[in-house]
A and B are shown apart, each in its own frame.
Chain A
Amino acid sequence: GENVEQHPSTLSVQEGDSAVIKCTYSDSASNYFPWYKQELGKGPQLIIDIRSNVGEKKDQRIAVTLNKTAKHFSLHITETQPEDSAVYFCAASKRTSGTYKYIFGTGTRLKVLA
């Protein structure tokens, strides 16, 4: 079936360093790839997304890259700060019979060490 693999499951970086989280999807029809940040006790919140007709998107310290051929997409956080510590989820989405189905990765727990 359709799935999204996400690595690593945990990631610790020193404050100011970069963090990279990678996802691989199986359904080549997926055309929308959002990234969510989930802080403790809260619901996930969208931080950046990319569409299948774009290879890279950047928003201040965060960027996402997409390789459609390899079915890979990655989240890059530069100059990490303690407040970046959270669980990050990738997702792949497509429209199927009127439903916009999202398949989520298993999450990456990012710890930024001060």
Chain B
Amino acid sequence: GAGVSQSPSNKVTEKGKDVELRCDPISGHTALYWYRQRLGQGLEFLIYFQGNSAPDKSGLPSDRFSAERTGESVSTLTIQRTQQEDSAVYLCASSLVLLAGYNEQFFGPGTRLTVL
């Protein structure tokens, strides 16, 4: 079946512009995560959505970052007034939520954002 898809795959923007990144999770996956991966670094948690619960926004680095998800479908990550330090690969992952807490995350291919 289809995996997690993200669009665009690459985005080049000018400093100060707003960007919107999209994630299509696996159908039926109630949990959705956004991560940031700077060059040569690990995955930095940004935000987590679980069904209709309030999202966990504890990883968002500043108020320029926001994300939305409609129900259990598509999510968009918006970065306003982009800065050069926002340049990174933004990864989306989705998962089922199992009672025992052992839920495999399935990652999309990422969006590579370059801020000039």
Binding site for B on A (CB under 8 A): 6, 31-32, 34, 36, 41-46, 49, 51, 89, 91, 93-95, 97-107
Contact = CB atoms under 8 A, between A and B. Distances in A.
- Interface SS, A side: strand
Interface stretch (B12-20, B42-50, B66-74): B42-50
A93 B101 contact: yes
A46 to B, nearest CB: 5
B107 interface: yes
B4 A107 contact: no
B48 A32 contact: no
Nearest 9 Cβ contacts at the A-B interface: A43-B107, A106-B42, A104-B43, A95-B101, A99-B56, A104-B42, A44-B107, A32-B102, A43-B109
B71 to A, nearest CB: 17
Contacts, number: 65
A27 to B, nearest CB: 13
A34 to B, nearest CB: 7
B43 to A, nearest CB: 4
A99 B50 contact: yes
20 contacts: A6-B42, A42-B109, A42-B110, A43-B107, A44-B43, A45-B107, A46-B104, A49-B104, A89-B42, A98-B50, A99-B50, A100-B48, A100-B97, A100-B103, A102-B43, A104-B35, A104-B45, A106-B42, A107-B41, A107-B42
B102 A101 contact: no
A101 B50 contact: no
Contact of B101 (A31, A43, A44, A103): A31
Contacts of A41: 109
A99 B104 contact: no
B45 A101 contact: yes
Given A101-B45, A104-B43, A105-B42, A43 B102 contact: no
Contacts of B93: 43
Contact of A101 (B41, B48, B97, B108): B48
